[in-house]
Chains A and B, each alone.
Chain A
Amino acid sequence: MASGCSGDESRVRTAAQFATTHWSVVVAAGDSASPKAQEALEALCRRYWYPLYAYARRTGHSPEDAQDLTQGFFEHLLKSRLVASADAAKGRFRSFLLQCFRNFMGAEHAKATRQKRGGHQSLLSLDAAGAEARFGGEPADPHSPEQLYERNWALAVLDETLIQVQQEFATSGRERTFEVLRPHLQGEDEDLSYAASARKLATSEAAVRVMVYRLRRRYREILNGVVLGTVDSPAEVEDELRHLLQVVQG
């Protein structure tokens, strides 16, 4: 099955587009087989596969198994009509995905892994080596697989946001500005003075102040958009953000 768009294409989409192309679309379609829903699901899967991979690893699967499971699961998710189930509309994509994945692991994993071992016909190309390297850096404990999943999910959301913001800066040729201003996204810090950033960018402190303000605002807009892509109404964005904060604080 060919994917509708490349990774890069999906990344340069604006937040506005995101807000209307993801989970809500899948839910609204009520049928994951519709082309729009397929596209949305694929984009979501591509973005959130690592949390599942890490979940599989932490539950005791070998790197190979985890990779096969993740691959197999997405194939299963995209081909099946899972999303059409009534439960899907109630929850968030985050919970939905883990729930499905668990079921998949429980019931299907032996079969699925063997099939994959035979064929290796990949639906999404997952960076297995990178994933394993990253998993190697996961805290050994005390995270349960579920906690680890949630944490990685939160990080995936933040990663995606950062990539999109970066992309925007890049399209207007301001990669350097972004690199300098990026740390300011984390809030005020004594070690991080506007003056220093101003020197690096050869501009005034006042100008940096305004740029940071704008960067933060844009970051927030995109972050909200990314999160909105995983919940089914804008009203839930704030709650979901709080949840993510709680998770990363864990």
Chain B
Amino acid sequence: MTAPQTCPRCGSKLSPKASGGLCPVCLLRQSLAVFESPEPEPRAADVAALEAAGLTPLRSAIPSERFGDYRLENEVGRGGMGIIYRAHQISLNRKVALKMIVAGPLSSTDFAKRLRVEAEVAAALDHPNIVAIHEVGEHQGQPFFTMRLVEGLNLAQALKAGSFEPRRAATVMITVARAVQHAHERGVLHRDLKPSNILLDPQGEPHVTDFGLAKIVHADSTLTLSHAALGTPSYMAPEQASGGSRQVTIAADVYSLGAVLYELLTGRPLFEAETPVQAIQQVLEREPERPSRINPRIDRDLETICLKCLNKEPKRRYVSAAALADDLERWLGARPIQARPVGRIERGWLWCRRKPGLAALTALVAIFAGVVVVGTPIMLLRLAREQRKTERNLYAANLNLAQDSWLQNDVAHVRQMLRETASYPERGFEWYYWQRQTHLERICFRHTDLVSSVAFFPDGRRIVTGDEKAAHVWDLAGGEELLNAGWPAQPVSMAVAPDGEKCVASSLDGIVRVLDATTGRQLLELRGHSLAIFPASFSPDGRWIAIGSVDRSATIWETASGKEWVRLDGDHGHKGWVMAVAFSPDGQRLLTGSWDKTAKVWETATGNLLLNLEGHHDAIRAAAFSPDGKFIVTAGEDATAKIWAATTGSLLRTFERHTEGIRSLAIFPDSRRIVTGGYDKEARVWELETGRELFSLKGHTARISSVAVSRDGQWILTGSVDMTAKIWSAVDGGELRPLEGHTAEILSAAISPDGRWIATGSRDRTARLWEADSGKEVLSLQGHLGEIKSLSFSPDGQWIVTGSWDGTARIWDVTTGMERLNLKGHEGGIRCVACSPDGRLIATSSDDRAVKVWDAVSGKQTLTLRGHDDVVNSVAFSPNGHRIVTGSGDQTARVWDATTGKEILVIRGHLDPINSVAFSPNGRWIVTRPNSLSWEWGSDGQGVGCDQRRATAHPARAQRGHQLGGLLPGRAANPDRQPGRNRQALGCGQRQRTAHVAGAQRRSDFRGVFPGRPARRNRQLGSDSQGVGRRDTETGCHLDFGRRLDDRDCRSSGCSAKSPSGTR
């Protein structure tokens, strides 16, 4: 049977092997529909026809054809409210349309009574384009009403043939709008205008039906929110969809008219939604796509008219249906229209309503329930606010989940969280951080199938990967696929010959094939094992190929002739599948690893057993000799790797960091490091000599099937059943880049305004400049006689000022590293330096309780600010450069005039020395951080804010986002809004001599960033002393990512920085 790939009804993908080729979505929808509105019973006449055909009659009753005064002829349509029949009114001998109302659980009598009241109002409407209501009644408990019968299609049916020609659409809508205007003038709102409520008679004249009825039906359907009761809200105005009936005015009908016009013009509904809630969400949040984008024939003016009706703000729509009709007439007559196009800015502010994802849905479900069920009107504004709050909470929650998933090595889930938050407009550093963390590899080779094995070519320029369908050869430089050689059978393992010209692949069909690595042509078939084969391996000189098999034997073959040389089995042989084979570097010995938990070493020439290695608790899946020939490494299902002495076979040590079985291992050419990979999705690089893990490679979302190391030891290649192969830096896995060079603790750090450079100051009396992307040391600034406590880049990034314990501040040229100026004058060590925003002034604070201001060009001292009674820990300029704020050990912060040096304000209230101060970017706030503010928000961990406008000091909410040590002016509370740029935060531990850059960068420029984790330290220590974090100050949600900064480091070193652009 040839089943179509997609369902013609709903567009879902079909699986020909399931559900008998039927569409599962349609099957389930069809079956679920009955929960919402019962499927109408077949007509009596049809049952009779069936009976006449000799088939069994239906068991259940159906309505009789006679319905009170009416005789039902046939069903002509159905909608949210019920089923419409063409009927004959016996008493008056006329044809009518009879609509039976599906009223849900309401008392039908009560319903009919109210329906009658409302319908009487509507019945008073006498307009040729409004379908008049004849009678409202109830028959055998079934409420119904009758209307004038309009033979023909409704607009919804007519639209199935496609959109309307623009002039025709305008003409139809003019008539409809005039009819609606007629009703509005008589105080009747339609409330449910939609294509199916507009009928076209045989002459093509439109007639509006169901006037005023929606109010009753909707108002009473409080018990169920089913499709049937509510209909699709896609044509409803936002205020109507969210606020219930009380807010509905003429403007809502105008909106609906616009929605109908939109559909006539474009041939598609304004919004398409699966559920009412989703529809409402779209109505509230999404801006419609411009009609001219869908149908280029649509005139700009007509589009403007249409979009004016669809404005989310009722006030901005046409004041009446008549005004709409008038403008449409103007357009038809080619006269200037009154509506003005909606500007970009106006559209722009609605960003927050767009694509809110799950967050909005959550909020809406709650609000929707409140609105419709309880009947409370809720203002749009509040809705938007709630929604933003929900979004923010959701974002925070998702990123925290991402962190948890990362720790559990569920990279797929981290990615999913990132995808779900990708459209969140305020995503910040943390998002990019995780984005970067999940893509630490240098190159990713995507496959369409599970990657089962990977190998480097000896030239280091190419790799070969094998998936279930083909062998692929890739060029590393360009990432191009050089060869794609299909497999006759599913391959298990592949190896490249030492000459780089051949590959050997073993497959489940028991045949080992030797292929030409350039052309993919098959050179040899080695048939010696009847059962599925595990790995094959070349001897170092390429002369021999070893094969392991499920028949419990291993064999050695001559490459040139393709002849079997020796078979390793018999009494000493393995008792289980041979799953690993490897030659010794001299080719004289062969190592085999088996399901029987043992590894064996054989003499290649004779096939004699030399060693039997026992110690694994489970099957051995990988085995190798170290290149220096001294060690044997085996690894397997017991999640351990074991190192054995190659000569004696004694077990030296066990590596136990993997949490699940190991499938593959590779030893670095220097015989010092090993990489292992397996079920736990992580590849780990560890030292052979100590068994210490150096780092791990995280990023695969499923089991790692194979690992390899390049001959130069620079690169690691991993292949995974997640259908990717990845190349990683073997130096650090891409994850971290220590800035190594200082010989003593680093005390200060800064990032240049353009983000290119990082400067660090150290107890070793030097400052160093590093290239941020590569982590390379560029300059060492030497001259200070004491440790460098503080440093700052000039706003133009041309120079650095350093403040030292030796009492001097020095200015250095960033390009040459030359000392430009030496600012002498303080009588004590300098604790903090700051540059004015225009780069003309430098402020220094000192142990001598003074703050000095210097001319950055001449080096002349211009001001001395005296007032503090203790050491001045911190100094900062206001963003406009007019003010200086200082924080001191005397527990005060002071604000000074930067021109006159006059003290303007003293901020008291802290019970501890103030460690750092900063202005907010708008200059209105000062943030101070007392010395005792601990990571866990110590008792005096309050920030003090001072509103300069009112010039009174008062406590404000603490800026607890500053977890990076130094104060990050304004940025902590305001997530970075420059997506796509490099984002890094810099931190350095008090007792460390290295600094690390934590960062996030787009995938495209992977060369750059190596987010921070301390080098050469074990994970436990690392997580104690290093980290980045941020708190969303508005929601109070803690966004914790990376590792936390120890509070001691945070407090006493104070040497973290964020670039002024906020990107590093």
Binding site for B on A (CB under 8 A): 59-60, 110, 114, 133-134, 137, 139-141, 144, 152, 154-156, 158-159, 162, 182-183, 185-187, 189, 191, 203-204, 206-207, 209-211, 213-214, 216-217, 219-220, 223-224, 238, 241-242, 244-245, 248-249
Contacts and interface: CB of A to CB of B under 8 A. Distances in A.
Given A110-B661, A155-B19, A206-B45, 17 more contacts: A60-B721, A137-B15, A137-B17, A140-B723, A158-B18, A159-B19, A162-B20, A186-B7, A210-B58, A211-B55, A216-B39, A219-B27, A220-B31, A238-B32, A241-B28, A245-B25, A249-B25
Contacts of B545: none
A238 B226 CA distance: 13
A155 B14 CA distance: 11
Contacts of A185: 22, 27, 30
Nearest to B36: A238
Contacts of A133: 17
B39 A217 contact: yes
Interface in B637-654: 637
26 contacts: A110-B637, A133-B17, A140-B448, A141-B723, A152-B18, A154-B24, A154-B28, A155-B19, A158-B22, A159-B19, A182-B20, A185-B30, A186-B26, A187-B30, A207-B46, A207-B52, A210-B42, A210-B47, A210-B50, A216-B31, A241-B28, A245-B28, A245-B29, A245-B32, A249-B12, A249-B274
Contacts of B17: 133-134, 137
Which of A189, A223, A245 has the largest count of B CB atoms less than 10 A from its CB?
Answer: A245
Contacts of B45: 206
A241 B32 contact: yes
A18 to B, nearest CB: 16
A158 B28 contact: yes
A152 B19 CA distance: 10
Contacts of B722: 60
A209 B43 CA distance: 9
A162 B32 contact: no
Contacts of A59: 702-703
Contacts of B8: 189, 191
B58 A241 contact: no
Which of B13, B34, B35, B46 has the largest count of A CB atoms less than 10 A from its CB?
Answer: B46
A216 B38 CA distance: 12
A181 B637 CA distance: 53
Contact of B13 (A139, A141, A238): A139
A189 B8 CA distance: 8
B53 A204 contact: yes
A193 to B, nearest CB: 14
A158 B47 CA distance: 28
Contacts of A162: 19-20, 22
B702 A60 contact: yes
B104 to A, nearest CB: 16
Interface size class, chain B: 35 or more
A32 B415 CA distance: 39
Given A144-B412, A185-B27, A204-B53, A214 B58 contact: yes
Contact of A189 (B9, B35, B41, B637): B9
B450 interface: yes
B420 interface: no
A216 B12 CA distance: 21
Contact of B24 (A189, A217, A248): A248
B23 interface: yes
A186 B22 contact: yes
B50 A159 contact: no
Contacts of B33: 187
A156 B28 CA distance: 13
Contacts of A210: 42, 46-47, 49-50, 58
Given A110-B637, A159-B19, A223-B31, A213 B25 contact: no
A156 B27 CA distance: 13
Contacts of B449: 140
Contacts of B912: none
B220 interface: no
A119 to B, nearest CB: 15
A60 B450 contact: yes
A139 B53 CA distance: 45
A213 B55 CA distance: 14
Contacts of B777: none
Given A214-B58, A248-B24, A249-B12, A155 B18 contact: yes
B326 interface: no
Which of B13, B27, B449 has the largest count of A CB atoms less than 10 A from its CB?
Answer: B27
Given A140-B723, A207-B50, A248-B25, A220 B15 contact: no
A220 B20 CA distance: 16
A187 B29 contact: yes
A206 B45 CA distance: 8
B16 interface: yes
A162 B12 CA distance: 19
Given A110-B637, A182-B22, A217-B39, A209 B28 contact: no
Given A159-B18, A214-B58, A223-B31, A187 B26 contact: yes
Interface in B960-1000: none
A207 B9 contact: no
Given A60-B450, A186-B9, A207 B49 contact: yes
Nearest to B637: A110
A142 B412 CA distance: 11
Query: Lowest 8 A-B CB distances belong to which pairs?
Result: A206-B49, A186-B26, A60-B721, A206-B46, A155-B18, A245-B28, A207-B50, A60-B703
Nearest to A156: B18
Nearest to B450: A60
Contacts of B48: 206
Contact of B16 (A137, A159, A209, A223): A137
A203 B53 CA distance: 7
A236 to B, nearest CB: 13
B618 interface: yes
Contact of A238 (B12, B30, B35, B450): B35
Contact of B27 (A134, A186, A191, A242): A186
A58 to B, nearest CB: 9
Contacts of B34: 220
Contacts of A154: 24, 28
Contacts of A207: 46, 49-50, 52-53, 55
A4 B35 CA distance: 36
A182 B23 CA distance: 11
Nearest to A191: B8
Contacts of B448: 140
A38 B31 CA distance: 30
A220 B35 CA distance: 11
A219 B29 CA distance: 13
A241 B27 CA distance: 11
A220 B29 CA distance: 11
Given A211-B55, A220-B31, A158 B24 contact: yes
B979 to A, nearest CB: 23
A151 B41 CA distance: 32
A159 B27 CA distance: 11
Contacts of A219: 27, 31
A158 B24 CA distance: 7
Nearest to B34: A220
A231 to B, nearest CB: 15
Which of A134, A156, A191, A214 has the largest count of B CB atoms less than 10 A from its CB?
Answer: A214
Which of A137, A144, A159, A248 has the largest count of B CB atoms less than 10 A from its CB?
Answer: A248
B42 A213 contact: yes
A155 B15 contact: yes
Interface in B1001-1033: none
A185 B52 CA distance: 24
Contact of B23 (A140, A152, A186, A191): A186
Nearest to A163: B20
Contacts of A223: 31
Which of B12, B49, B52 has the largest count of A CB atoms less than 10 A from its CB?
Answer: B49
A1 to B, nearest CB: 27
